[in-house]
Amino acid sequence: MVRKGMVLVWLLLAGCDAPSPYFSAVAPVRMTVGGSTFDLRRRGRLVEAVRVNPQYAPRLGPVAARAGVAMARMTGCRVRGLRGDQALILGILDCDAADSGAY
Of 85, 41, 42, 82, the closest CA to residue 65 belongs to 82
Measured in degrees and rounded to the nearest 5, phi and psi for residue 3 equal -65, -40
Domain annotation covers residue 90 = yes
Domain that holds residue 91: 17-99
- The model's pLDDT over 67-96, given as tens digits with 9 standing for 90+, comes to 999 999 999 999 999 999 999 999 999 987
- Is residue 66 within 8 Å of residue 33, measured between CB atoms? yes
Q: Is 6 domain-assigned?
A: no
Residue 71 lies in a domain: yes
57 domain residue, yes or no: yes
User: Residue 16: its pLDDT value, please?
Assistant: 58
Q: What is the pTM of this model?
A: 0.77
Q: Do the Cβ atoms of 94 and 79 come closer than 8 Å?
A: yes
Q: Is residue 12 part of a domain?
A: no
Number of folded domains that form the chain: 1
Q: Distances in Å between the alpha carbon of 77 and those of 7, 42, 45, 65, 96?
A: 42, 12, 9, 15, 8
In a domain, 87, yes or no: yes
In a domain, 44, yes or no: yes
Q: Is there a contact between 94 and 81 (Cβ–Cβ < 8 Å)? A: no
What is the per-residue pLDDT for 22? 92
Distances (CA, A) of 37 to 4, 17, 18, 54, 99: 31, 11, 14, 9, 25
Asked whether residue 85 is domain-assigned, the answer is yes
pLDDT in tens, 18-65: 889 999 999 999 999 999 999 999 999 999 999 999 998 889 999 999
